[in-house]
């Protein structure tokens, strides 16, 4: 049951921009806000078993801030507060990835070691470069998400609910392809 709730909350949070865009007009802020608080609350409770504490912190902080944004929207009767959630998620991810650059193992290296515990030195160097690449992505994505908060809800939804996912997926897939190519050269 816990796994099902975790999956359901993840789907709701991925659909967050569409919930805001379509949901508020159709169902009203109260219903959408309640559903978002429930999904964020489930997310907050379900991350306790996450292997990497940094990712657990991202989920916890972003859930608490998300709930706070929904509450601010309810108090001030403005759904605009909800548009800042993607910005918060990008800031949290940037903080985790950037702070890991000061540690002996970056977050990407730690993730890589889950699959390949005996990562060679070339892999360590590569994962550091990938971590830096993701930091630049989170900076760009967060700034553009912030930019869209001050324009139409349609533009905000298009970017945060579609384009940013395509960009992140493309970066992830591109990095995976490069990694496969590099691993063949070893």
User: Nearest Cα to 23, choosing from 71, 102, 79?
Assistant: 79
User: Nearest Cα to 182, choosing from 98, 132, 93, 112?
Assistant: 112
pTM for this one?
0.86
How confident is the model over 132-162, as pLDDT tens digits?
A: 999 999 999 999 999 999 999 999 999 999 9
How confident is the model over 122-136, as pLDDT tens digits?
A: 888 999 999 999 999
**How many whole angstroms separate alpha carbon 43 and alpha carbon 101?**
27
């Amino acid at each position: 049951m816990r796994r099902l709730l975790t999956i359901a909350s993840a789907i709701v949070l991925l659909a967050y921009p569409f919930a805001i865009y379509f949901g508020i007009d159709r169902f009203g802020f109260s219903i959408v806000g309640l559903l978002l608080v429930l999904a964020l609350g489930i997310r907050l409770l379900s991350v306790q078993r996450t292997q990497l504490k940094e990712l657990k912190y991202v989920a916890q902080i972003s859930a608490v801030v998300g709930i706070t944004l929904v509450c601010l929207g309810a108090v001030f009767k403005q759904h605009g507060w909800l548009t800042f959630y993607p910005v918060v998620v990008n800031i949290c991810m940037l903080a985790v990835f950037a702070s890991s650059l000061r540690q002996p193992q970056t977050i990407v290296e730690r993730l890589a070691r889950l699959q390949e515990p005996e990562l060679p030195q070339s892999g360590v160097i590569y994962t550091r470069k990938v971590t830096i690449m993701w930091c630049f992505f989170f900076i760009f994505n967060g700034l553009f998400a912030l930019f869209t908060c001050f324009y139409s809800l349609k533009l905000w939804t298009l970017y945060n609910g579609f384009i940013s996912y395509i960009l992140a997926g493309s970066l992830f897939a591109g990095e995976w392809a490069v990694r496969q190519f590099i691993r063949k050269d070893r």
